[in-house]
Chain A
């Protein structure tokens, strides 16, 4: 299995600012995924991030708004640019280690944009 840690646990920011969410894995993983969840709704896959390559974004999510870095096999950062109240949600990082069918999730980062 893999343990995923996220920082910060929660954040409050003003509209128009940018903020970063970090995800750290306790072992090397090939792919990391980022999900967005609005209150008591489904988790929406935002993007898939592989080490050393550009993240692949799902429909409705863009690199300009949510740039993702993946500098090595244990780390990823999601940035929320020009944050708006509509971006207020929980952001989860996730990973599926090679050879595992199971997918693991971080504890989530709750973002509130005022």
Chain B
């Protein structure tokens, strides 16, 4: 059973400073990773999807994947107060249709 864990549980950064969020997974055959943002228990906004080791950038959001280390991270460049939200990591294992979510990181960006 895939386990997805995120850290830290909450994070406060100043506006303009880099924000870094971490996600570990247990299934080494996983091949599909994405980061979502959710404002105040609203809908899910997909930020970045990544399928192979390395880096994927979408605007101010960059995902880094290292499958050997079972780790995927999200870096937010120049975060703004409007980026304050819960960030969810989701992973799909190889051969599985199931997308499994982490517990989320609550990001607060102070101005």
Pair from one complex: yes
Q: Which residues of B contact A92 (CB under 8 A)?
A: 44
List the A side residues contacting B104 at CB < 8 Å.
40-42
Identity of the chain B residue whose Cβ is nearest the Cβ of A108 in the assembled complex: B43
Report which of A31, A40, A106 forms a contact with B86, defined as CB distance below 8 A: A40
Contacts of B49 in A (CB 8 A): 101-102
The secondary-structure label for the interface of chain B is strand
A35 to B49, CA, bound (A): 20
Report Cα–Cα, A51/B93, bound state, in Å.
23
Which interface class (under 10, 10 to 19, 20 to 34, 35 or more) fits A? 20 to 34
A44 shortest CB reach to chain B, Å: 8
Identify which of residues 19-62 in chain B touch chain A, using a CB-to-CB cut-off of 8 Å. 32, 34, 41-44, 46, 49, 51
Chain B contact residues (Cβ within 8 angstroms of A): what range?
20 to 34
Instruction: Give CA–CA (A31, B93) in the complex, Å.
Output: 16
A-contacting residues, B86-111, CB 8 Å? 86, 88, 90, 92, 97-104, 106
Q: Which 4 pairs across A and B sit closest by C-beta, in order of nearness?
A: A43-B101, A107-B43, A42-B103, A42-B101
Q: Which residues of A contact B (CB under 8 A)?
A: 31, 33, 35, 37, 39-45, 48, 90, 92, 94, 96, 101-103, 105-108, 110
Q: Which chain B residues have a beta carbon within 8 Å of chain A's beta carbons? A: 32, 34, 41-44, 46, 49, 51, 86, 88, 90, 92, 97-104, 106
